[in-house]
Structure 1
Amino acid sequence: MKIAVIIARFQTPYLHEGHKQLIDTVSKDYAKLIILLGVSPVMGSRKNPYDYHTREKMIKREYPDVVVLPVSDHPSDRVWSDNLDNLLKSVFPNGQFYLFGSRDSFIPYYTGHFETVELPAHGDYNATELRKQYADKVFDSNDFRAGILYAYYNQYTKVYPTVDVAMFRNNKTELLLGKKANSNTWRFIGGFADPEDESYEAAAQRELFEECGELQVSNMIYETSHRVNDWRYRNEADKIITLLFSCDHLAGEPAANDDIIDVAWFKIENLAQMIADGLINDEHTKMMKLIITKYLKN
């Protein structure tokens, strides 16, 4: 039995005309059509927002006779190809398979045993642009609201990495701290790591410069990490873990910027009393005690 196999992702909110033309063109000359949907190991990303079951239902609604199967991504092209071949043979042991894809599809990476067929593009359709068109649309329907719940509940719980900086001066006898507008307590300078940061050390330096101005500092040295009881996430499954770095101030005058409204230098020997007096942010107390223990001069 000659079986056509389309290998694609169909990561769109609906089957557009390009999808339909592809399915109709391929299926008309074959006894059976299988659509293999690529499954990413990342749950709920911008590039792969829809899980397998959501895409399967979308296809089966308009093409109920099509066989839809998942094929998981793999870092090895050879292993991925073997898994694909084994999946097809397990479903149709006597099938003669022909694998269809576009010019930018799986074909260059496939090393399996079945024949591949490159198809011309079916119209000027771009899945990324189509997702962007719907990314900020809000619909007043129960299905839309239920879909939001489904998306959030079918994600891994996340850890958001932040960085904090203990910047010293005067032979590590003084420490720079900052204060935010929504708090009367002092805290380390810091913030969230960004996907564009090359490292957590780079993120720490970026945050320091954003909140205190362009300074000359020594290299960032890792001190410790721990989960922060951030008020924004206390009732959430997702949490924050921060990484504390230290550096020495070499030149430049720190000035409060961004969401920091004030900065000041404090002697290490006075920090313990500041903690006792409630002047240090609760989220940073544990790290502050480590700094005191490590750097307080006896």
Structure 2
Amino acid sequence: MSQLPKLGALAVVLRDGAALLVQRKNPPDAGTWGFAGGHVEFGETFAEAAVRELSEETGVIATPVQLIETAEFIHRDASGTVTHHFVLGAVLCDYVSGEPVADDDALDAAWVPLEDIYAKRLPMSDKVDDVVCMAAVFQA
């Protein structure tokens, strides 16, 4: 296992009172809902990675607007050993085209109403509601 954190990007797309979320297929958040995203490749910006991952995971096309948040996630097993360490950049993106279809490492993809996110009606990854709230402010 690498002793370095992994750099990742998240695509935050809002449209018609909903956010585009995917249900994760793989650990550490398997089964939970969050933003489409993944690893930032060498030489790639957060913005470039976010829109690439969005397209790969959902088929939706968007353009990056701005980095709105960075977050660090450290997951530990029952004995306290670090199993995953991510540094993520959430990129607000403007929807261009496409309807979400789960692909790549997503189990499902859907436009989830903001009120469902704020009420936590789905099992979600950490801070999804906080990031959606920030995105709504930036987009206003």
- Give the 3-state SS of the residue equivalent to 1:246 in structure 2: strand
- Give the 3-state SS of the residue equivalent to 1:229 in structure 2: strand
What is the percent sequence identity of the aligned residues?
23
Counterpart check, 1:229 vs 2:74: yes
**What is the aligned length?**
133
The structure with the greater share of residues assigned to strand is: 2
Query: Could you say which residue in structure 2 is the equivalent of 1:164?
Result: 10
Q: Is the 8 A contact 1:227 1:242 kept in 2?
A: yes
Query: Could you say which residue in structure 1 is the equivalent of 2:118?
Result: 272
Query: Could you say which residue in structure 1 is the equivalent of 2:50?
Result: 204
Q: Is the 8 A contact 2:21 2:35 kept in 1?
A: yes
Q: Is the 8 A contact 1:204 1:220 kept in 2?
A: no
Structure 1 pair 212–238 and aligned structure 2 pair: CA distance change class (3 A): closer
Structure 1 pair 194–180 and aligned structure 2 pair: CA distance change class (3 A): same
Q: Is the 8 A contact 2:13 2:94 kept in 1?
A: yes
Which string of whole-angstrom CA distances, capped at 9 and with x for unpartnered residues, describes residues 15-44 of structure 1? Answer: xxxxxxxxxxxxxxxxxxxxxxxxxxxxxx
Give the TM-score normalised by the residue count of structure 1. Answer: 0.40
Name which of 219, 222, 229 aligns with 2:64.
219
Q: Which has the larger radius of gyration?
A: 1
Q: Is the 8 A contact 1:158 1:238 kept in 2?
A: no
2:25 maps to amino acid: A
2:67 maps to amino acid: Y
1:271 maps to amino acid: I
Structure 1 pair 216–208 and aligned structure 2 pair: CA distance change class (3 A): closer
Instruction: Report how far residue 290 of structure 1 moved.
Output: 3.4
Within 1, Cα distance between the matches of 2:94 and 2:135?
A: 15
Query: Could you say which residue in structure 2 is the equivalent of 1:291?
Result: 132
Q: Is the 8 A contact 1:178 1:264 kept in 2?
A: yes
Which string of whole-angstrom CA distances, capped at 9 and with x for unpartnered residues, describes residues 48-99 of structure 1? Answer: xxxxxxxxxxxxxxxxxxxxxxxxxxxxxxxxxxxxxxxxxxxxxxxxxxxx
Runs of 4+ in 1 over 6 A off after TM superposition: none
Within 2, Cα distance between the matches of 1:177 and 1:244?
A: 13
- Give the 3-state SS of the residue equivalent to 1:203 in structure 2: helix
1:185 maps to amino acid: T
Which string of whole-angstrom CA distances, capped at 9 and with x for unpartnered residues, describes residues 194-240 of structure 1? Answer: 1152x121111111111112x332324211001113468x7239731
Higher RCO (Cα < 8 Å, 6 or more apart): 2
Within 2, Cα distance between the matches of 1:294 and 1:196?
A: 26
Structure 1 pair 207–163 and aligned structure 2 pair: CA distance change class (3 A): same
RMSD: 2.8
Residue ranges of structure 1 left out of the alignment (5+ in a row): 1-151
- Give the 3-state SS of the residue equivalent to 1:190 in structure 2: strand
Counterpart check, 1:190 vs 2:28: no
Structure 1 pair 230–193 and aligned structure 2 pair: CA distance change class (3 A): farther
Structure 1 pair 237–181 and aligned structure 2 pair: CA distance change class (3 A): closer
